[in-house]
Structure 1
């Protein structure tokens, strides 16, 4: 059985009672993982943002800045 987190209601749902649409996150293997869905999503978003900044501000960006000087 899979578990889902409904962002509208804040409730964990199962395959049997899952809402249809974009308001659910999942599937998760356990109810605990589903309950932590927002925290997990937040951590992943922070990591992706950091990776984007590192890529954007990486060596190529520094080389371009040196050319402008």
Structure 2
């Protein structure tokens, strides 16, 4: 974060906020860039899927 600006993804509105303006219960972040914040849900979904797959492998093994 070279500029010191933090970006947050607001899950209630689906919008990126520059600086945290909303309740912590509604935001994901902080992110260094607007683009990273915009991708927050996709990245979280991918991580959840990977963790679910790992859990399944452990149950099978």
TM bin, normalised by shorter chain, reads: 0.7 to 0.9
Structural RMSD (CA): 1.1
Mind listing any 5+ residue stretches in structure 2 that lack a counterpart? none
Q: 1:2-54 CA distances to partner (integer Å, 9 max, x unpaired)? A: 11000100110122x52122110111111000001110111000001001111
So what's the TM-score if we normalise by structure 1?
A: 0.76
SS in 2 for 1:4: strand
Mind listing any 5+ residue stretches in structure 1 that lack a counterpart? 59-69
Output the CA distance in 1 between the equivalents of 2:44 and 2:21: 19
Output the CA distance in 2 between the equivalents of 1:55 and 1:18: 40
How many correspondences in the alignment? 57
Equivalent of 1:31 in 31, 34, 42: 34
